Amino acid sequence: MTRPLLQVEHLVKHFERPRSLARRLAGDKASVVHAVNGVSLALERGETLGLIGESGCGKSTLGRAILRLVEPSAGRVVFDGQSLQDLGARQMAAMRARMQIIFQDPYASLNPRKSIREIVALPLQLHGGLTPAEVTQRVQAILARVGFRGDQIDLYPHQFSGGQRQRIGIARALVSRPELVVCDEPVSALDVSIKAQILELLGELKAEFNLTYLFVSHDIAAVGHIADRIAVMYLGEIVEIGPTSQIIHAPRHPYTQALLSAVPRLIPEPGRVRMVLRGDLPSPVHLPGGCKFHTRCPVAMDSCSAQAPQLIAPGEDARHRVACLRSTNRA
């Protein structure tokens, strides 16, 4: 049995909220934002794991903590057998050639003062090991692969559309030939037609370069198109994870069911009932006790407010796991 390319073990990321001068003088304790709370998951080599949830659930923070773009508060990330928490700054810099990220905003993530040739070449220059001629060749090849002509590579980001700028971001992420790519909401800022093109491109590049994706998105339709498995996140925790077909067609957690029921349909489905969640997403500073979802769950039981469910497989398929007392009891 081969080991996973990526293993995340009980990962935690908390942020301390800044206090005003008056609160500091009064001796008030700093409040803590519980962004990621004990997440464990694994990615096999060549797999795409979709990570979905509402805005503010911690999914982007999880992706960045995995790459150590933000330092985890606790837990461990193991990449290809190597614990990233054991690496020093120089070793981690070398490891980054194998782990890259595609950012959400295709304009804010690009330096407006540099041409796309310079932007895409920068990772190769930072990691070293190539001659200037080899850098130029690698940059031209990847830009051509994502759809740019030779006469465009000395233009600047503001001279391109949003979809083209995201292609630049993809080229920059892939030019160092990584094995793992965290796609942080890569299509959320794009028009529908352009979104489809980028999703198609990402799928082609995955097969061509044998990439492994962690695909972060609030768009469950986009995730369903590209992912092999889906993990559903709520208030910093994974509440359901399993093969894409099972999550889409047979969700077990009420939160997953609510997300799917909110997806618009072009053709109305007779008998389809919309599950509307009550209340707002609780503050990550003051998390509810027990099951974090019980304050909004339409089928919550009395025990849900006191007992935190474990992420387990209630059925015969061990790949499909859910953190829900009702689903576990029903199974």
Q: Are 51 and 6 in contact (CB under 8 A)?
A: no
Q: For the domain made up of 6-330, give the CATH fold.
A: Rossmann fold (3.40.50)
- Residue spans of the domains in the chain: they are 6-330
| pLDDT of res. 291 | 93
Q: Are 12 and 72 in contact (CB under 8 A)?
A: yes
Q: At what angle do helices 132-145 and 116-127 cross, to 10 degrees?
A: 130
Report which residue type is found at 224. G
Distance of CA 305 to the CA centre of its chain: 28
Q: Are 123 and 190 in contact (CB under 8 A)?
A: no
For 43, the 3-state DSSP assignment is strand
Q: Are 116 and 152 in contact (CB under 8 A)?
A: yes
Within 10 Å of residue 244's Cβ, how many Cβ atoms?
18
Distance of CA 105 to the CA centre of its chain: 14
Per-residue pLDDT in tens (0 to 9) along the chain, 331 residues: 578 999 999 999 999 877 666 666 666 667 888 999 999 999 999 999 999 998 889 999 999 999 999 999 999 999 999 999 999 998 998 899 999 999 988 788 899 999 999 999 999 998 888 899 999 999 999 999 999 998 999 999 999 998 999 999 999 999 999 999 999 999 887 888 888 899 999 999 999 999 999 999 988 888 998 999 999 999 999 999 999 999 999 999 999 999 888 776 666 666 666 777 877 788 888 889 999 999 998 888 889 989 999 999 887 788 899 999 987 665 5
200: which residues sit within 8 A by CB, 6+ positions away? Answer: none
